[in-house]
Structure 1
Amino acid sequence: MNTSTTVSSIVMDPSNNITSSTPAIPPSTPLAVPWFTESFWSRDPTTAAARKMYGTILLVFTALVIICILSALPVYWGALWQTTSHVHNLKGWVVDFDGSTIGKSVSQGVMSTSGSPSMMTWEVVPATLFPDGLVDVESWILEEKIWVIIAISENATAGLQAAVLAANASYVSNATITAVVAEARSENAYKNIIRPIITGILDGVTASLNAHVVQTTAESGQNLTILAKSAPTLLTQPVSYTISNLRPFDVPVAAAVDFVGLIYLLILAFIITMVNYAARVEMTHLQDRLSFVSLLAMRILVPLTLYFPISLFYALLSQAFQVPFDRKFGHSGFLIYWMMSWFAMGALGLALESAVTLLTTKFVGFFLLLWVVANVSVCFFPPELLPGVFRYAPAMPFYNVQQAVRTIVFDTKNQLGLNFGVQLAWMGVSICTITVFQYFKRYRAIREHERPRDTEKRGGMRELIAAPLFADS
């Protein structure tokens, strides 16, 4: 017989005033679910139920990850797939300042390559468009109105003929043709597509021209032996070319600033989003105590305030590795880059703040993946080399940070006003969505908070109605 002491709880029955006692669980009774002792495949009902829920959660999230792989990641793969099919979207000009044999031959040779999807599209433009010669040609390139301009020097044919007749050893053949480009506009497009196309075309054109010049020289009765001794270049390579790279991508570490580093900038903003959410929702429940206006102000101003010093140290990291921010704007270049990093964190981070409102910490990672892919996909190659669906590039935060960095570090076309404006526009959109999403979340939270009170009031009213009008005291 069990001699354990029992604790009775007294319950009053209002109908007959009878009391009853219910024995409590003895303190020595073991727990129903033993802690820290079960194996993974335990048959204990509670552990089995927990194991089943655990497996279900993993399966569901694995399925969601696979869906992301099949839906989001192809965006980036698609941006790098068959870029050669869109090379024809890169435009180039041929300017014939010569107007004679060499100019016409080069123009015809370049134009003969145009038309294929895998080749640049060329157009012969009149030399009168460039009254100051190469100075005007360079300004068109620096203003990014065209990708490449191949210019044939003035009097190129007459100068070559005079040099052959005089056996001029000082003749510079590579001044005949100049291809003007700006690598820093898109170093990947230049390295992988533009430069190989230019060299391929001009190598073929000059080889044909050189053979023609040598044949013409021999037929003219010129003493080739004397010419070979005094000016051999006039026989071996009478026509050549120079690639004038106005803005070389000569700072390798800048790749961390204008491409890969942007992913890290987004990750930093994501960390702040997660910490901010945990601090106000899970650890302090502060958001349940604040008015809607105060909560909204906190959700917008606190992240922007935190982004300020973080973006400073992010910019200082690049400064420490000697990224030359002073090339175009002097010492102000670093300040401009810092402000661009801050604005970019605001554009990227507030979008995450908006997403986490609805998705919570459980699902916001999927939005982060999509946000990264959508931004990165338009940064490796210029929009002209991407399929039409990627023409959204100029509206993305990453793309505009990249353009700003190119302006500050490499002195490319200045569009800083537009670059900052896009970041501000994203912040404005995110502030609007945060407001809307938070309003609905707050409305739902208030309803859930008031429901127990409503239930209690309704229960009390039912008891009042059911009670006798003149109950005995």
Structure 2
Amino acid sequence: MTMWHYTKATDNRIGWGEHSGLGKAFFKIAIKNFILLQLLFLGLFAYCFGSLYQQTEHTHNIHIAFVDYDGGAIGASVRAAYESLKGDSFPTLLDAAPDAFPTRDDLRSAVCDTRYWGALYVSANASSRLQDALGGGPPALAYDPSDAMTLIWNEARYSTVADTAVLSNMQTLAEAARVAYTRTDGTGRLQRITSPEAFTVLASPWKLRQDDLQPTSQGSRAIYNTLVIILILIQEFFYLGAINGLYANLKIYARVHPSRVMVIRFLLSAAYCLVGSVCVTGMIWAFRAGWDVGALQFGQSWMVLWLFAHLNFQVIDVFTVWLPVPYVPMALIAWVIMNVTSILLPFELSPAFYRLGYLFPSHEVYQTLLDIWSRGCNPHLRYSLPILFAWWLVSCALSALGVFRRSHYAMLAEEAQAKQFSDRVTTALAHERERDAMHRRQRNEKEADEEGGLDYRRGHHDQHQRQS
């Protein structure tokens, strides 16, 4: 089958050499959308890339508390190493007095409350234990290098970022401190080391021990703040498109009372988002790969993702109600990119301008999820949940108002269509009556002509008889 089989495709069409207002209107709209889409995507690319710009140079905004419970050579080595590493691309080490955090649990609480991204501390009497071990003998054999220095951190909090910005940099600091300790002869015994056990201790005087509040090392963690959010948004958009198409095809807005339409749409969208959110949560749990989260965290994650999905369903519905059709896809892609950009990185690693991301529901849902997954160690619910509920309430109100707006214009369209149909019927009837009248006139004229012809023939016959 070739294009020549479609013979009607070229009938009564405007050719290349012909001109009409249609072509002018087409190019005017096409060029307008060409410019708008290019500017939109240029702006979105700039916005997204700008949030990641010079990420490493903002690492100094990552604050790590340092507490020296020992007060000896190891702490001095850490401070000396930090002075050599300090810069924009290295976390800021905040030296805190032991009195501010009397116990390790106080440090854990400070990290859990997100006052710091992590806390590095030197154990009490660590320097004296190291000094005894460098003397050789039983102290060297009993020495535990992982008992000297500990890092407290929460890997669930932007895990891919924390791995590099917190853990890797603190490991670098610990290694630099070992070099500084060796170079400065911290305990004053390095020159007198003779036993093999002491040399073993000197080779590895300490190992950075981790106190990870919520280990999060599974591979799927990389998409929790990207694809998961994007797919939820797209999932709502497609179902909304199907629902709106169904309502339009069945002319629901012109046939059913708006309040009933509003309730049915709300219940249908809530049920759809409920099922969709449990599927998303189920996939996160199915591929958690030993991640220490349980049934309580599953239920809480499901509920907050349900709220997030439903408010986005309503927000996208607001786009379709209040924006002209050509601008709806533009609004959708802008909404997706700006939401995802708000959670690509912690605000500490982005320019200050991007703190406007606090306004977007994706940032708040991710903060809430981090709090759930780490069992309260991201306590930002005081603002994240109110912002989410505010988005939900406003979007529900505008979406409900949109039902009345659609119903209003649907009735106007029905009335216009009915009037147009009535006008066509009236015109057709008038035309039919005019045609009937014309037919009657023609028939009368014909009958008159026939009667006139008959009278003429009768008169002619009578005259002929008289002449005869």
TM-score range relative to shorter protein? 0.7 to 0.9
In structure 1, the partner of 2:148 is: 176
In structure 2, the partner of 1:199 is: 171
Read off the aligned partner of 1:248 and give its amino acid letter: P
Q: TM-score, length-normalised on structure 2? A: 0.77
In structure 2, the partner of 1:432 is: 397
Residue 288 of structure 1 is aligned with which of 254, 264, 267?
254
Report deviation, 1:430: 0.6
Say if 2:105 is the partner of 1:122.
no
Distance 2:310 2:30 in 1: 33
Distance 1:339 1:421 in 2: 15
In percent, how many aligned pairs have the same letter?
20
Other structure's SS at 1:249 match: coil
In structure 2, the partner of 1:37 is: 10
Report if aligned partners of 1:206, 1:240 keep a CA contact under 8 Å in 2.
Answer: no
Matches within 5 A, 1:137-216: 137-167=107-137, 168-213=140-185, 216=188
1:215 to 1:102, Cα distance in 2 relative to 1, 3 A: closer
Distance 1:37 1:69 in 2: 37
Other structure's SS at 2:342 match: coil
Report if aligned partners of 1:181, 1:245 keep a CA contact under 8 Å in 2.
Answer: yes
Distance 1:176 1:367 in 2: 55
Query: Which shows bigger deviation, 397-406 or 256-265?
Result: 397-406
Matches within 5 A, 1:40-119: 42-43=15-16, 54-110=26-82, 113-114=85-86, 116-119=87-90
Report deviation, 1:438: 5.1
Read off the aligned partner of 1:193 and give its amino acid letter: A
In structure 2, the partner of 1:390 is: 354
Report if aligned partners of 2:70, 2:123 keep a CA contact under 8 Å in 1.
Answer: yes
Other structure's SS at 1:248 match: coil
* 1:381-404 Cα shifts (integer Å, max 9, x gaps): 112112222213344322233334
In structure 1, the partner of 2:458 is: none
1:452 to 1:404, Cα distance in 2 relative to 1, 3 A: closer
Distance 1:334 1:343 in 2: 14
* 1:47-88 Cα shifts (integer Å, max 9, x gaps): x76666555544333322201112223221111111123222
Residue 227 of structure 2 is aligned with which of 256, 260, 285?
260
Distance 1:367 1:397 in 2: 16
Report if aligned partners of 2:254, 2:411 keep a CA contact under 8 Å in 1.
Answer: no
Distance 2:154 2:278 in 1: 30
Say if 2:268 is the partner of 1:302.
yes
1:431 to 1:230, Cα distance in 2 relative to 1, 3 A: closer
Other structure's SS at 2:40 match: helix
Gaps of 5+ in 2: 1-6, 424-468
Q: TM-score, length-normalised on structure 1? A: 0.76
In structure 2, the partner of 1:6 is: none
1:172 to 1:370, Cα distance in 2 relative to 1, 3 A: same
Distance 1:41 1:203 in 2: 78
Which structure: larger Rg? 2
Other structure's SS at 1:42 match: coil
Residue 238 of structure 2 is aligned with which of 254, 259, 271?
271
Matches within 5 A, 1:332-343: 332-343=296-307
Read off the aligned partner of 1:237 and give its amino acid letter: S
Report if aligned partners of 2:153, 2:211 keep a CA contact under 8 Å in 1.
Answer: yes
Distance 1:44 1:57 in 2: 22
Distance 1:416 1:104 in 2: 35
1:452 to 1:42, Cα distance in 2 relative to 1, 3 A: closer
1:308 to 1:416, Cα distance in 2 relative to 1, 3 A: farther
Report deviation, 1:340: 2.1
Report deviation, 1:103: 2.0
Gaps of 5+ in 1: 1-33, 458-473
1:289 to 1:154, Cα distance in 2 relative to 1, 3 A: same
Other structure's SS at 1:139 match: helix
Aligned length: 415
Report deviation, 1:127: 0.8
Other structure's SS at 1:82 match: coil
Report if aligned partners of 1:188, 1:381 keep a CA contact under 8 Å in 2.
Answer: no
* 1:259-310 Cα shifts (integer Å, max 9, x gaps): 31111111000011211221112x1121123334334434433322322223
Report if aligned partners of 1:111, 1:122 keep a CA contact under 8 Å in 2.
Answer: no
* 1:326-364 Cα shifts (integer Å, max 9, x gaps): x45x42333222222221111211100011102254321
Report deviation, 1:191: 2.8
* 1:433-459 Cα shifts (integer Å, max 9, x gaps): 2345555555566666667999999xx
1:121 to 1:321, Cα distance in 2 relative to 1, 3 A: closer
1:35 to 1:242, Cα distance in 2 relative to 1, 3 A: same
In structure 2, the partner of 1:136 is: 106
What root-mean-square deviation, in Å, do the aligned CA atoms of Structure 1 and Structure 2 show?
Answer: 3.5
1:289 to 1:206, Cα distance in 2 relative to 1, 3 A: same
Report if aligned partners of 1:375, 1:397 keep a CA contact under 8 Å in 2.
Answer: yes
Read off the aligned partner of 2:201 and give its amino acid letter: L
Other structure's SS at 2:188 match: helix
Other structure's SS at 2:114 match: coil
Distance 2:12 2:55 in 1: 54
Residue 205 of structure 2 is aligned with which of 229, 235, 238?
238
Report deviation, 1:192: 3.3
1:125 to 1:307, Cα distance in 2 relative to 1, 3 A: same
Report if aligned partners of 1:151, 1:178 keep a CA contact under 8 Å in 2.
Answer: yes
1:317 to 1:249, Cα distance in 2 relative to 1, 3 A: closer
In structure 1, the partner of 2:366 is: 402
Q: Which has the higher contact order (CA 8 A, sep 6+)?
A: 2
